[in-house]
Amino acid sequence: MREETHLTHPAPAVIDLDGLHALIGVLRDRGYCVVGPTRRDGAIAYEEIASADELPAGWTEVQEAATYRLERREDDARFGYPVGPHSWKRWLLPSRVRLWQARRGDGGATEFVEEAPPERPFAFIGVRSCDLHAIAVQDRVFLEGAYVDRDYGARREGAFLVAVNCGVPGGTCFCASMGTGPRAESGFDLALTELVGDEHRFVVEVGSDRGAEIVSDLMGDPATPEDIDAALGVTHAAVAQMGRSVESFDLRDLLARNVEHPRFAATSERCLSCGNCTLVCPTCFCTSVDDVNVLADGGAERWRRWDSCYSQDYSHIHGGSVRPSSRARYRQWLTHKFGTWIDQFGTSGCVGCGRCITWCPVGIDVTEELAAIRVTDGEVDHANN
């Protein structure tokens, strides 16, 4: 996590709906591009919003394997749903970004001009604990290795994170068993817990100096012990309602010794290799580069775009793909996410958000898959190996 909660941060405050409006207004006034949840195309998406009016008040999501729909709530909670198909990688690691332009000068000299980062820093409203962990997972990949990704670094550096604690886990959520939620512990500038009752209010915890500065503009009151208890109660209740769980102990070794397990062939019969899971997963980071000519001026550009280990030529070397079968590609994704990611980057790649289960068209459930392998640990697929 990039920022830690220090004891020196101000004590939690309480703001009301006007305070929430003011928070977004203050961030916009300070030049942030405010991105938050809003209803779009039958889902709750993360888009740029101009005010708190655009939040999906009174809506919730019903999620199950291969199922997602919006439903009306009985109250008008602003954050009464878990996570939709978008994750914050949409903004930190955009699906298409130009990396540089190359121009041929006189005498054959070639100049490479790096792309400038976005002008406005981002303020993310409504970052769930699982997604905070996902951001930290991607930080390790792009900022903490031998090389820093300049574009990710620039976007990440300036990003102001307003976390929101979960009261309503989705049917596919399993953050509790992955140790990534539902309570936001660190890595945020501010964390809100929404309390809908007699008074619709938000308990605001401060996680950074930047957060403290913003809160001081909001005319909130100090949170009472009852407010804080109520806020803790929200996430305790969420733990109890978690839709799924994973026995995450020893997953790396379990998967490493079961690379030839028959479950991979069996499940890959259902898998369409559509890559939905990799698109919605908040930690999946694979990209490809496209080198293109610019016909107009004889220059060239390099673009980076999202890619997926499910695509046929993802693993292509001269001679063919290393993983031509759907079985191998499904195995790659599952074993990387829960196993070899730990070898490569020191953390699990999964944050238990459940998006892959919700958005898989055939409802492949990673929690079920892992449990099945654990129960038949050591079985070998003789037909396919």
Partner 1 sequence: MQTIDQLVAESPVFEGLAPDRLELIAGCAQNVGFEHGERLFREGDPADTFYLVRKGRVSLSTHAPARGAIVIETLDPGEIVGWSWLFPPYVWHFDARAVDDVRAVAFDGACLRGKCETDGALGYELMTRFAAVMIDRLQHTRLRLLDVYGRDSDS
Partner 2 sequence: MTPVPYRVVSRAPETADTWTLLLEPLGDHIAPAPGQFNMLYAFGVGEVPISTSASPDADGALVHTIRDVGAVSHALAGSAPGTVIGVRGPYGTEWPVEQAHGRDLVIVAGGIGLAPLRPAIYHALAHRDEFASVCVLVGARTPAELLFVRELEDWRGRFDVDVDVTVDNAGEEWHGRVGVVTQLVPRAPFDPATAVAFVCGPELMMTFSARSLLARGMPKESIYISMERNMQCGLGHCGHCQLGPVLICRDGPVFRFDEMERLMEVREL
Contacting partner 2 within 301-330 (CB under 8 A): 307, 309, 314-318, 322-325, 327-328
* Residue 114 contact among partner 1, partner 2, none, beta carbon within 5 to 8 Å by kind: partner 2
Question: What is the C-alpha separation between 210 and 190, in angstroms, rounded?
Answer: 9
CA dist 112 and 101 (Å) reads 6
Q: Which residues sit opposite 191 in a β-bridge?
A: 163, 205
Residues 67-106: x where in contact with partner 2 by CB under 8 A, - otherwise, as a string? --------------------------------xx-x-x--
Q: How many positions of this chain bind partner 1 (CB under 8 A)?
A: 3
- CA-wise closest residue to 251 among 352, 181, 323: 352
Nearer to partner 1, 317 or 383 (CB): 317
CB of 379 to partner 2, least distance (A): 15
Q: Segment 267-296, which members bind partner 2 (CB under 8 A)?
A: 285-289, 291-293
Q: Which of 105, 108, 225, 318 binds partner 1 (CB under 8 A)?
A: 318
Contact 137, 205 (CB under 8 A): no
Task: Please state the closest distance from residue 357 (CB atom) to partner 2, in A.
Answer: 22
> Cβ of residue 317: shortest distance to partner 2, in angstroms?
6
How is the beta sheet containing 96-104 ordered, strand by strand? Answer: 110-114, 96-104, 299-306, 287-294
Element (H, E) at 375: helix 366-375
Q: Which of 108, 225, 319, 378 binds partner 1 (CB under 8 A)?
A: 319
In this structure, which amino acid lies at residue 374? R
Residues 52-71 that bind partner 1 (CB under 8 A): none
Among 340, 368, 371, 379, binds partner 2 (CB under 8 A): 340
Shortest reach from residue 252's CB to partner 1, in Å: 29
Instruction: Tell me the closest approach of the beta carbon of residue 282 to partner 2, in angstroms.
Output: 15
Whether 58 and 73 have beta carbons less than 8 Å apart is answered as yes
User: Residue 222 has which token pair?
Assistant: 């100090």
Count of residues in the chain: 385
- Cα–Cα distance measured from residue 236 to residue 317, given in angstroms and rounded to the nearest whole number: 50
Binding mask 134-173 for partner 2 (x = CB under 8 A): -------xx--xxx-xx-----------------------
What is the total count of residues that contact partner 2 (CB under 8 A)? 51
Q: What is the dihedral of CA 336, 341, 342, 345, to 10 degrees?
A: 170
DSSP codes of every residue in 153-209 = HHHHHH-EEEEE--SS--TT--HHHHT--SS--SS-SEEEEEE-SSS-EEEEEE-SH
**With contact defined as beta carbons under 8 Å apart, do 190 and 205 qualify?**
yes
Of residues 317, 378, 382, 383, which one binds partner 1 by CB under 8 A? 317
Give the range of 184-192, 212-220, 224-232, 253-261 binding partner 2 by CB under 8 A: 253-261
Residues of the shown chain interacting with partner 2 in the complex, contacts defined by CB under 8 A: 99-100, 102, 104, 108-114, 141-142, 145-147, 149-150, 256, 259-260, 285-289, 291-293, 300, 307, 309, 314-318, 322-325, 327-328, 332, 335-336, 339-340, 343-344, 385
Residues of the shown chain interacting with partner 1 in the complex, contacts defined by CB under 8 A: 317-319
